[in-house]
Amino acid sequence: MYNIRSGKELERITHKTMADIVEIRLREYLKNKALRPGDSLPKETEIAESLGVSRNVVREALSRLRMLGIIQTKKRTGMVVSSPDIMGSFERVLDPMFIDETTLREIFELRLILEIGLAELLFLRKTEADIAELEKIAKKQKPTTGQHSFRIKNEIDFHGKLYQMTGNHTLRRFQDMLLPVFGYLVSLEKVPIIGKVSHLDLVEILKTGTKEDFRQGMLQHLEHHFSKLH
């Protein structure tokens, strides 16, 4: 059960436990049998017997798949394949607590990139109602009375609304998860930095401008973030 990757360097020897192996075998099983959500799996005892391991080990592997939402279990009925919430599983590890500084910065960049590309979907799907709501959020922000915590909340509300306006639910949830990372890094700013282009300016562009205008506007709005990249 040892695994030495024969490359240039000596890599870490990783020991696979039975639970690891069973997890892999179960994934292969799902793939090979091309099981779709709703299809049912053999019962725990059968799996254990087939693989020649204790039910205990099987349950540890199943517990993982269950957590990810790949399978669902019910007493007496047994187990069925399910469609996992892909963002939910992402969320399980995306905690600034665990993540090293480098990755945090990279995730931050990822967000900036998304924000620029957003214009595409935004101009495809924006509605009058959405723009009105966005404007309401933008107007709440008073540049002078800068309570730091409020500023961040408003920032989140505005950009969150933008993501929601794309009509892409997955994208919206992705941003939701990136928020803690974003918040963490912004909280390091001592002085609140206001971009040359305000939220209200962006709303105006959405009303009367073009996709390209919006991209440029967003770039200006996030200028102080981009300028920190190197």
Partner DNA sequence: TACATTTGATATGTAGTACATAACTACATT
Partner DNA sequence: AATGTAGTTATGTACTACATATCAAATGTA
| b/e 65-84 (16+ beta carbons within 10 angstroms → b) | beeeebbbeeeeeebebbee
Does residue number 24 form part of the binding site for its own copies (CB under 8 A)? no
Residue 137 corresponds to which tokens in the numbers above? 């959020």
| Residue 175: closest CA among 185, 161, 186 | 161
What is the Cα–Cα distance from 55 to 44, expressed in whole angstroms?
7
Part in contact with its own copies (CB under 8 A); list of ranges 136-144, 153-161, 198-206, 212-220: 212-220
Residue 115 interacts, among DNA, its own copies, none and using kind-specific CB cut-offs from 5 to 8 Å, with its own copies
53 binds, among its own copies, DNA, none (CB under 5 to 8 A by kind): DNA
CA distances from 134 to 8, 79, 142, 156, 227 (A): 54, 44, 15, 12, 26
Site for DNA in 39-68 (CB under 7 A): 41, 43-45, 52-57, 59, 62
Q: Which of 156, 171, 179, 185 binds its own copies (CB under 8 A)?
A: 171
Tell which positions 75-114 bind its own copies, by CB under 8 A. Answer: 81, 83-84, 86, 89-90, 92-95, 97-100, 102-103, 106-107, 109-110, 112-114
CA pair distance 205, 208, nearest whole angstrom: 5
Quick one: what does residue 54 bind among DNA, its own copies, none, with the CB cut-off 5 to 8 Å set by partner type? DNA
Among 64, 68, 69, 73, binds DNA (CB under 7 A): 73
Q: From the CB of 77, what's the least distance to its own copies, in Å?
A: 13
Q: Which residue's CB is nearer to DNA, number 62 or number 70?
A: 62
Query: What is the DSSP-derived secondary structure letter of residue 144?
Result: S
| Helix extents (H) in the chain | 18-32, 44-51, 55-68, 86-91, 101-117, 119-125, 128-140, 148-165, 169-186, 199-208, 211-221, 223-226
Q: Which of 141, 166 has the CB closer to its own copies?
A: 166
Can you give the binding site for its own copies, defined by CB under 8 A? Answer: 19, 23, 30-31, 34, 36-37, 56, 59-61, 63-64, 67-70, 81, 83-84, 86, 89-90, 92-95, 97-100, 102-103, 106-107, 109-110, 112-121, 124, 166, 168-171, 174, 212, 215, 219, 226, 229-230
